[in-house]
Amino acid sequence: MKQDVVVDLSDLPMNGSGTASLTWWGTVAFMLIEGTGFALMISVYLYLGSLAPAWPIEAPPPEWGPGTGVTLLLLASLVPNVLLSRWAAARDLRKVRAGLLIMAVFGTAPLVLRVWEFMALDVSWDSNAYGSAVWMLLGLHTTHILTDLLETYVLAALMFTRHADNPRRFGDVQDGAMYWNFVVLTWLPIYACLYGIPRL
Amino acid sequence: MRIRPLPSLALLLLCGGCAGWQSALDPQGPSAQALGQLLHGFVLVLAAIWLAVLVVLAVALRRRSRATPQAADRHAGIAVGTACVATVLVITGLTLASYVTTRVISAGAEAPLVVRVRALQWWWEVTYPGEAGPDVVTANEIRIPAGRPVRIELSAADVIHSFWVPNLAGKQDLIPGRDNVLTLTARQPGQYRGQCAEFCGMQHAHMAFMVIAEPPEAFAAWRAAQQADSAAPAGAEEAFGRRVFEQKPCGACHTVRGTEAKGTNGPDLTHLASRATLAAGMLPMTRGALAAWIADPQTIKPGNNMPMVPLTPAELQAVSAWLATLR
Amino acid sequence: MSARIQDDQRDTDLADAPLDAALRRVWDTPRGVWGALATVDHKVIGRRYIATAFVFLAFGGVLALLMRWQLARPESRVLTPDLYNQIFTVHGTSMMFLFAVPVMEAMAVYLVPLMVGTRNIAFPRLNAFSYWMYLVGGILLWGAFLVDMGPDIGWFAYVPLAGPQYGAGKRVDIWAQMITFTEISALAVAVEIVVTVLKQRAPGMSLDRIPLFVWAMLVTSFIIIMAMPAVMVASTALILDRLVGTHFFNPAEGGDVLLWQHLFWFFGHPEVYIIFLPAVGMISSILPTFVRRPIFGYLPLVLAMVSVGILSFGLWVHHMFTTGLPRLGESFFTASSMAIALPSGIQIFCWLATIWYGRPVYRTPFLFILAFFFTFIMGGMTGVMVASVPLDTQLHDSYFVVAHFHYVLVGGAVFPLLGGIYYWFPKFTGRMMSERIGKWVAGLLFTAFNFTFFPMHVLGLLGMPRRVYTYQLDMGWGGLNLFVSLSAVVLAAGFLLFFYDAVRSARHGEPAGDNPWGAATLEWATASPPPSYNFARLPVVRSANPLWEDDGVLPVAGGLRVDRRELLVTTVGDALPEARESSPRPTIWPLWSALATTALLLGSILTPWAVVWGAVPVTIALIGWFWPGGRKEEES
Amino acid sequence: MNGCRRGMDRVGGWKDSVVGAVVLPALVLLGGCRLEDRETRPDPPVAQALGQVALMPNGIGGSPPEVYAALGRPYRDSAFHLSQGKRLYEWFGCQACHADGQGGSGPSLIDGWWNYGPDLPTLYTTIHDGRPGGMPAFRDRMTRDQIWQLAAYVQAMGAYTGSLAAPGRSDRPQTRPAENRLPAASAPLR
């Protein structure tokens, strides 16, 4: 088929950033999938709660302490996270390295505290449906913290290699930061469910 | 291409008429009646629409359009718009029709006979809460007085089953942890077959039961008879059979009131021989069928929970002889 | 078009022949085993997907024949009840999870990048990964079945029958993990398609110029993204109940049996439209070619597909009308189920209008569309019947329903799919399928299908329940069942003929040109089969039917680099060029990742700790996947 | 990587359907072995032979009948038989004395301690003939293969490691950890 060149792309940037990058959209799509998963798990929790004559079933409401600690840690982590995203946008390698290390710490801390949060539930996953629901809800969110934490570790390592100074890396850092915001924000409704509903 | 379905349509007419004893096309009660009418209504309307669309398609294929693109799009727009309006009207009508039918069916009945049906893998336990006298417990057969509404309280012992007697009413699931109720009425005396309609494991296919509608007085007589204990053995063979039944594993799972057999895992056999069928609608209630069933239940109904109890031919004869007398 | 017109540069410096050579050097998949395992070309993977899906279709068909053999006579003992239950479960599971959904996504994996005029699908490595996951899931199910370990609880796996107490052995666990495999792959493909459609369209392909098949796949992908997590949650809860003793479905400990049905059908009903919408797209793309006029009602069709996508989430309860839920709620779901008849109607009406004002050309793909009209509309009508609460109490779980959904799925999805195969086969292979055999296939399948499934409506009304391994002589169902079984043999013959034609034509079919049907969409603007880079220069779109507008001259965009895999990112709305993005090279890591994930998932059936130690290889594989290799594709 | 001139339609594609056509028949050969066979009807002679347990004089430990080995130790390894055993455990009211395996008037069955040893022939004999101290004989209440199923289940619920073939938790109020994750001697949950 005869071709007629009508558009010239030669001086477009060699990779898109923000909404012009494919990975940004991919990250958003996966957040949509996992967001749906969280929403469904919460509705399972509410559904079982609506059936039960008393909720929680044969267990005290979970203790405030560890869960609230995790929540505060996660909220606090938003600050360095947003800064990190800014630095990545500004392509400031030194600050990005620092930011990643900070985020590695801020990712690990809640994970450690999570252990006590599981114990603070005061119910076993196989005691009854309430136990099963809270353990699965908490477990699902813990997996998300874990996976994003691993991603942070890898990115941090990457930033100290020859691959570091590259707009793509900075794009990855920004997407990683966005995903961490998602992990933190999805926690808030779960926190409200786990700790609020049993006390209503 | 467009005439090929005719044979299958013919098939529908051929078999649509035939009245089965487990058929939604042969309603024998008010509820099934209402559903039957709704069914016919839907089929007529929808078949008409289906034909209309195919006719339009046929014409569209035959004709050659001479319209200018603009005119074509304008006319098509009008046509499609009208069709959409018609669609909305039709589905609204059908929705209302089914809502009305729902109201009719679920209207409460006065002074119903209460029957408890408990579904197990793979048989039905039927209990008549005792008015004047002990509860009547039987299996795989529901006797009801013709003309009187029957309130059937449904529960499941193990997995989900579904209670379906097409000639009398629509189906209703029996779900562990939940109690469902189904009200049905049989217009005149007769035998109506029902079957489990929710997949429930290996012998889902052989989980049937009979609904036997009788004149009220006949039903009362049957109920009185059922409340009595089992009859004493008529002869020596029957007596021997009863002893075998009590001493062998049979009695560990089956109850025969008036004997040592008090097991509760299997169906109550106190008046076994008064039922029309054996093994949840599989076999006719004859002495021969009884013997065959006891001799090798796992070949007749693989996977069911009745084990193959080793018996000598004499014992087998005696047990089946005795059971055949439990009217 | 806001992009500026300038003097050519880069790829535009080269004449066609050297340009082809240069592009092949960067885009071709290396030959040999490594190439086959490492390829990230959407066309290779798409063909693999399609071929594998049809293999599973054939297997599922064999199971169907076995069932019909058993049901041909009352109280037949061809199959044991245990084997029969495994067979109908594996048939349903295989057809839904291993054929219907994957084959539609596979068509999209192959066609969407071509139709939107880009060089590869978004996230090609994820694409490779999704295929491997899908393949393993299929082998898992069928391998288990062959060693008498096949699931025997129906494709819907209702608890408690599938629960820890009544589902003995590993059969149900295998089913649940097979779900995980297929859902992961389906979700991955959905993400790729969404991003490809939103961000990789050819310059000028604004939202109102997107081919309808691409629209359909966009909507479908969103349905997948919203619906499949439900079945993931459900199967996870099930496997936890079975393996670590949770109580989600144990009524005695606050769980609920119906929770499973809610979760499963919240996925299960949209699933029907996940299968049907792509078929809608195929018809909308094929029809104009064979009536020689643009589709009528582009906008209504798009809106109809979108509203079907939304409505499909409001229908799930109509699979539970006999469970004794509150009547008022059920009536609401009757209304919503009926409401979906409107957008479906709009689609039909628009197609009819297109034919009405067109000039039909009776080639095989068009015949399949006619078969679609006949069967699918009947399926839609019976669908209206089962959507009515009271009627459903008689029809539910009877053979009437079996007839209904086969009319919808085979008539509504498989017929258009086969039409699509005949239509796009020249693009896939560069060769035409036989028109003569094709007419026979269409005729045979159409006739035999109706003879096989129409009598099932009657059987259902005569009281025959679903999923029974046999029925008794005195039920009077023998005649119809025998007729059905005999017709099923003819139906199988029709499919056999189709497979023969496909395999034969792939080797010896008559060569097809770039655009054998004189179609309007971009996939026909390149060679058949397309070169590894799809388009030497990316096409520029100025209308909804580009190849019908520009008489023999294809407007293209120039300026992409030829020394690395490069494609174009455009804006979501008007598809204005935004950036030149690179596309990854072949890599083996997706395969390793799939194998590592397999180890984790299979291990978790045996011990929960597999989730812990299994995570290690998965992590390693993923790091290997994402660690940059310092290629040109990494630069900026 | 570079310089391969052939069109990529050579790679994969229809070739895969051929590959599939080779691989899957290979799988079919596997069809011979039946991992989760569900034998519902032991042949009468087999059922008869299942009773021939040779027990030590002291009634502790013994050897199973030859037929048991010939059958491939089905009652120990088959999930189906174990689930049947679980059903029988409930049907014949074993909880009444053994209280869901945690003791009561009868000994606990999950504390890892066996009065007569944990081997199947002993368990079979215990159920079949009963034991002094209140364990009744079930020889007249169950068939031999049922006793084997029940014995295998009792062994599994008291095993030192949770058995892969063991059934999961019951759809009942939960009174002890699920069989398939129950190591013997694990403390009762409540």
Q: Is it the case that residue D100 has pLDDT exceeding 80?
A: no
Residue A49's domain is classified under what CATH number? 1.20.120.80
pLDDT tens sequence across C44-66: 999 999 999 999 999 999 999 99
Confidence of residue D32 (pLDDT cuts 50, 70, 90): low
Tell me the chain D residues in contact with residue B308 when contact means C-beta distances shorter than 8 Å.
Answer: 41-42, 44, 47, 143
Paired residues of B124 in beta bridges? B119
> Max Cα separation, chain B?
99
SS3 at position D67: helix
Q: What percent of chain B has pLDDT over 70?
A: 94
Q: Does residue A1 lie within any of the structural domains?
A: no
As a whole number, the mean pLDDT across chain C is 93
**A23 vs C631, which has greater pLDDT?**
A23
pLDDT tens sequence across A49-85: 999 999 899 999 999 999 999 999 999 999 999 999 9
Interface test with A, best of D170, D171, D172, D174 (most A CBs within 10 A): D174
Q: % helix / strand / coil in chain C, to the nearest 5?
A: 70, 5, 30
Residue B307 to residue D143, Cβ atoms within 8 A: yes
CB pairs under 8 A between B and D: 39
User: In degrees rounded to 5, what are phi and psi of residue B203?
Assistant: -105, 30
pLDDT tens sequence across A33-56: 999 999 999 999 999 999 999 989
**B174 vs A14, which has greater pLDDT?**
B174
Residue D174 to residue A124, Cβ atoms within 8 A: no
Q: Does residue A57 lie within any of the structural domains?
A: yes
Q: What percent of chain C has pLDDT over 90?
A: 86
- Of C34-43, C331-340, C567-576, which gets the smallest average pLDDT? C331-340
Checking ipTM against 0.85, whether it exceeds it is: yes
Give the integer Cα–Cα distance in Å for D75 and D83: 10
Contact in structure between B188 and B148 (CB atoms under 8 Å): no
Mean pLDDT across the stretch B38-45? 96
Q: Is it the case that residue C231 has pLDDT exceeding 50?
A: yes
Q: Does residue A12 lie within any of the structural domains?
A: no
Q: Which residue among B60, B173, B203 sits closest to C352, beta carbon to beta carbon?
A: B60
pLDDT tens sequence across D107-162: 888 877 888 888 899 999 999 999 988 899 999 999 999 999 999 999 888 877 76
Contact in structure between C395 and C464 (CB atoms under 8 Å): no
Q: Is it the case that residue D93 has pLDDT exceeding 80?
A: yes
Nearest to B31 by CA among B111, B112, B102: B102
- Three-point CA angle B204, B210, B216, nearest 5°: 155
Find, in chain D, the residue whose alpha carbon is nearest to that of C159. Answer: D171
Q: How far is CA C315 from CA B92, C232, C332, in A?
A: 17, 19, 9
Q: What is the pLDDT of residue C338?
A: 87
Q: What is the pLDDT of residue D19?
A: 53
Give the integer Cα–Cα distance in Å for D112 and D105: 17
**Alpha helices in C387-434, H assignment, sequence order:** 389-395, 399-406, 415-429
For residue C206, the distance in angstroms to the closest alpha carbon of chain D comes to 31
Residue C579 to residue A14, Cβ atoms within 8 A: yes
pLDDT tens sequence across C568-585: 999 999 999 999 999 999
Q: Does residue A66 lie within any of the structural domains?
A: yes
Give the integer Cα–Cα distance in Å for A146 and A139: 10
Domain extent for A172:
22-199
**C137 vs D134, which has greater pLDDT?**
C137
For residue A61, the distance in angstroms to the closest alpha carbon of chain D comes to 18
For residue B185, the distance in angstroms to the closest alpha carbon of chain C comes to 16
Residue D91 to residue B249, Cβ atoms within 8 A: no
Residue C43 to residue D8, Cβ atoms within 8 A: yes
Q: Does C229 touch chain A (CB under 8 A)?
A: yes
Mean pLDDT across the stretch C167-194? 95
Confidence of residue C550 (pLDDT cuts 50, 70, 90): low
Confidence of residue D29 (pLDDT cuts 50, 70, 90): low
Overall domain count for chain A: 1
pLDDT tens sequence across C264-321: 999 999 999 999 999 999 999 999 999 999 999 999 999 999 999 999 999 899 899 9
One-letter amino acid of B175: I
Q: Does B299 touch chain D (CB under 8 A)?
A: yes
- Of B152-166, B267-281, C255-269, D68-82, which gets the smallest average pLDDT? D68-82
Residue C296 to residue B76, Cβ atoms within 8 A: yes
Q: Does residue A8 lie within any of the structural domains?
A: no
Q: Does residue A35 lie within any of the structural domains?
A: yes
Confidence of residue A14 (pLDDT cuts 50, 70, 90): confident
C529 conformational bin, left if phi > 0, alpha if psi -120 to 50, beta if neither = beta
Find, in chain B, the residue whose alpha carbon is nearest to that of C355. Answer: B60
Paired residues of C556 in beta bridges? A5, C539
Q: What percent of chain C has pLDDT over 70?
A: 98
pLDDT tens sequence across A123-181: 999 899 999 999 999 999 999 999 999 999 999 999 998 888 888 889 999 999 999 99
Q: Does residue A16 lie within any of the structural domains?
A: no
Q: What is the pLDDT of residue A158?
A: 92
- Three-point CA angle B198, B199, B203, nearest 5°: 120
Residue D12 to residue C146, Cβ atoms within 8 A: no
Q: Does C203 touch chain A (CB under 8 A)?
A: yes
Residue B54 to residue C374, Cβ atoms within 8 A: yes
Which stretches of C518-625 are assigned E, i.e. beta strand? Answer: 553-558, 566-570, 577-582
Confidence of residue C635 (pLDDT cuts 50, 70, 90): low
Paired residues of B128 in beta bridges? B136
One-letter amino acid of C55: V
Interface test with B, best of D40, D46, D144 (most B CBs within 10 A): D40
Confidence of residue B14 (pLDDT cuts 50, 70, 90): very low
Q: What is the pLDDT of residue D53?
A: 86
Q: Is it the case that residue C4 has pLDDT exceeding 50?
A: no
Find, in chain C, the residue whose alpha carbon is nearest to that of A47. Answer: C259
Find, in chain B, the residue whose alpha carbon is nearest to that of C336. Answer: B95
DSSP summary character for residue A192: I
Find, in chain D, the residue whose alpha carbon is nearest to that of C146. Answer: D31
Q: Does C59 touch chain D (CB under 8 A)?
A: yes
**D30 vs C634, which has greater pLDDT?**
C634
Paired residues of B156 in beta bridges? B119
Q: Chains touching chain D at 3 or more Cβ pairs under 8 angstroms?
A: A, B, C
Secondary structure of chain B in HEC code, one letter for each residue: CCCCCHHHHHHHHHHHHCCCCCCCCCCCCHHHHHHHHHHHHHHHHHHHHHHHHHHHHHHHHHCCCCCCHHHHHHHHHHHHHHHHHHHHHHHHHHHHHHHHHHHHHCCCCCCCEEEEEEEECCEEEEEECCCCCCCEEEECEEEEECCCCEEEEEEECCCCEEEECCCCCCCEEECCCCCEEEEECCCCCEEEEEEECCCCCCCHHHCEEEEEEECHHHHHHHHHHHHCCCCCCCCHHHHHHHHHHHHCCHHHHCECCCCCCECCCCCCCCCHHHCCEECCCCEECCHHHHHHHHHCHHHHCCCCCCCCCCCCHHHHHHHHHHHCCCC
Q: Does residue A145 lie within any of the structural domains?
A: yes
Tell me the chain D residues in contact with residue A128 when contact means C-beta distances shorter than 8 Å.
Answer: 174
Nearest to C461 by CA among C515, C405, C391: C391
Q: Chains touching chain A at 3 or more Cβ pairs under 8 angstroms?
A: C, D
Q: Does C324 touch chain B (CB under 8 A)?
A: yes
Q: Is C281 exposed, middle or buried (0-12, 13-18, 19+ CB in 10 A)?
A: buried
Q: What is the pTM of this model?
A: 0.93
